[in-house]
Chain A
Amino acid sequence: MLEIRDLHATVADKPILKGLNLTVNPGEVHAIMGPNGSGKSTLANVLAGRDNYEITGGEALFEGKSLADMEPEERAQAGLFLAFQYPVEIPGVSNMEFLKAALESVRGAQGKEEWDSVTLLRQARAACKQVNLDASFLKRGVNEGFSGGEKKRNEIMQMLLMEPKLALLDETDSGLDIDALQVVAKGVNSLRSPERGIVLVTHYQRLLDYIVPDFVHVLSNGQIIKSGGKELALELEQKGYGWLTGEEESA
């Protein structure tokens, strides 16, 4: 469902991705690991279509269509979801209002039946419960005054409701204590299905204890330099990235 071939991309005109290849099939969970600054977030942002993140070579196809030709909202409507590394606050716009607009657009585009406000509220409450967020968070401004962990759980809550085809999670584990990590992992695992692809971007292997990936890739200097199974993550945990990148780096 996601086909990335020899992808080159710049951030604010600075080359970051330098010939990246990755294929994600439905039902698969991929973990992308790598040192800080290696381009993990860049990859996620390029795929989601953030301003200033430009594809300069190669291609990224989502269900056969070139992502480069789609606006960010069209990518979302097509079923691509990005859980942000740093979720931003939108003061005064309630989570509920935000979800309503998002779901109306995405469900509409996908030809799913429209949820009336009663259904929406019920679904949203259930999703909150799944990630251990009090339902009162639905009334609060999007991420407004949320703690770091609450923001991350809020992202997962949205993801559960949006039911994406391809979920990209950018460092969703960072800043979470062990309980929150398990809650988030449970949420993500509940979305695992034969039709859905999941890409976990993470710096640490501990998330992978709870969400066991089918594939692990190491990203360094804008390229995937090694791929393997879940055991690769453990190896990285022990040895760090240095043995792969040829640099000294402690995880």
Chain B
Amino acid sequence: MSQAELDKLIRSNYEAGFTTTVDTETLPPGLSEDVIRFLSDKKGEPDWMLQWRLDSYRKWQEMPSPTWAHLHHPPIDFNEVSYYSKPKSLDDAPKSLDEVDPELLATYEKLGIPLHEQEMLAGVAVDVVFDSSSVFTTFKEKLAEAGVIFCSISEAIKNHPELVKKYLGSVVPQGDNFYAALNSAVFSDGSFVYIPKGVRCPMELSTYFRINEANTGQFERTLIIADEGSYVSYLEGCTAPQRDENQLHAAVVELVALPGAEIKYSTVQNWYPGDEEGKGGIYNFVTKRGVAHDNSKISWTQVETGSAITWKYPSVILRGDNSIGEFYSVALTRHMQQADTGTKMIHLGKNTKSTIISKGISAARSQNSYRGLVRISPRAENARNFTQCDSLLLGDQCGAHTFPYIESKNPTATIEHEATTSKVSDDQMFLCRQRGIDPEKAVSMIVNGFCKEVFKELPMEFAVEAGKLLEVSLEGAVG
């Protein structure tokens, strides 16, 4: 198959590219202490929260923006970004779906998230974030029965200050990195989860994010605490409408797995990647990190197809003995996309174990980098890591890069690393076509096959969605 044909396959219009006109209240662009005071006041936050934000802001001002990632982008003018926006219809908070802005609902319908159905389809509680505020939470009562707290972080600040004070910033400190500091200063909203001791969360918790305001930075903050011996599976899905300005996104996700707990965090991310010239996509700078205490387990699974620029390293600090960290990732880049993703596994405890499976798919003129750090501290006796990085190239103008960093300070550690790079071969394409399968379907089948090891880690519905997402992302104007 020729390069031109491959290119044709890869080019496809972004399906979720539409804009909803909801009347919103948006703060003019620019950032200062006054803006933070306004924002905090608007949200009715207690003083300790405001002080925490201001402290973060001061730290942020001192920090240079990171330049080490394998990415190229024009400098971001942080005074061009607007730091607060929420749908107006939220002021008279909806008590049921009927009270939700119909246009908002229509947006979710277009995205294939029929809330009406989801409400009935027991099993998944949805905390929908539209721009910066939580609009709706379902299944709250059922979760409450189990003692699970699943609410917006704003609500948690008001209703569970002791938990928020104790854990917010405990995994990702305010001054951890440039974007985390910015997030800590201006975070808008996000999810808060607390699973009590010994409780297995009765349903998968799921949040859909969607960026909808032109030029509005998005600064979600997510905090998940799994108390001793508990279990939770959390799903995050994102998609954004097509537009021309680059949109900044700098989220922070903190996971705390207390002794014997397990947290499974899955992401399917489908932001607008920008057009073929790289114009209009989302800049995604995310800090995701978990701390695993004794005998606990944290597992990150992600499927990334969106963003003009992705900079993201979900990490696990294996603090406790016998703790386990896992990272399963599929990252697809096309057009002019740049992805610099990977993970950090920091082994501090004895007998800690980490597994990293990364699948990178690059098409067109995109660049896909895996950057992984495995650090074994001196007291991490018998730590084990297995890393496998596979890259699949579609065409010959794209790039795949692997940067594995290994720092082992304990001689008892076992570290294995495997890496492969392959192409969708002409022979594979010809076999498919000879069996009557059209090239578009063939590419998507081969790519999905390449990702199988990661998809099987996703919850069932999400795995199906992820497969479809890849298919849509690879769809072209063939025929």
Contact = CB atoms under 8 A, between A and B. Distances in A.
B436 A93 contact: no
Interface residues of B, number: 25
A76 B428 contact: no
B437 A91 contact: no
A85 to B, nearest CB: 11
B435 A76 contact: yes
Given A76-B436, A84-B431, A102-B436, A90 B1 contact: no
Given A73-B438, A106-B435, A162-B435, A93 B430 contact: no
A101 B434 CA distance: 12
A82 B434 contact: yes
A164 B1 CA distance: 25
B397 interface: no
Contacts of B426: 51
A90 B448 contact: no
Contacts of B431: 84, 87-88, 90, 142
B437 A105 contact: yes
B143 interface: no
Contact of A88 (B2, B428, B439, B448): B428
A67 to B, nearest CB: 13
Nearest to A94: B449
Contact of A73 (B433, B448, B451): B433
Nearest to B452: A92
A158 interface: yes
Interface in A37-58: 48-51
Contact of A76 (B427, B433, B446, B451): B433
Contacts of A6: none
Interface in A64-81: 71-73, 75-77, 81
Interface string B415-442: 0000000000111101111111111010
B311 interface: no
Interface string B1-25: 1100000000000000000000000
Give the size range of A's interface with the partner: 20 to 34
Interface string B438-479: 110100011011111100000000000000000000000000
B435 A90 contact: no
Given A90-B446, A93-B446, A102 B428 contact: no
Contact of A71 (B2, B433, B449): B433
Given A51-B430, A87-B431, A77 B436 contact: yes
A91 B450 contact: yes
Contacts of A86: 427
A225 interface: no
A238 B231 CA distance: 74
Given A90-B431, A92-B450, A92-B453, A73 B445 contact: no
30 contacts: A48-B434, A49-B433, A50-B430, A51-B1, A72-B430, A72-B433, A73-B433, A73-B438, A76-B434, A77-B436, A81-B434, A82-B434, A84-B434, A87-B431, A88-B425, A88-B427, A88-B431, A90-B428, A90-B432, A90-B445, A90-B446, A93-B445, A93-B448, A97-B445, A98-B437, A98-B445, A102-B436, A102-B437, A106-B436, A141-B449
Given A73-B434, A98-B435, A102-B436, 11 more contacts: A51-B1, A51-B2, A71-B433, A72-B434, A73-B437, A76-B435, A77-B436, A90-B449, A101-B437, A105-B435, A162-B436
Please give me the 7 A-B residue pairs with the lowest Cβ-Cβ distance, nearest first.
Answer: A92-B449, A93-B449, A102-B435, A76-B436, A92-B452, A105-B436, A72-B433
Interface of A: 48-51, 71-73, 75-77, 81-82, 84, 86-88, 90-93, 97-98, 101-102, 105-106, 109, 141-142, 158, 162
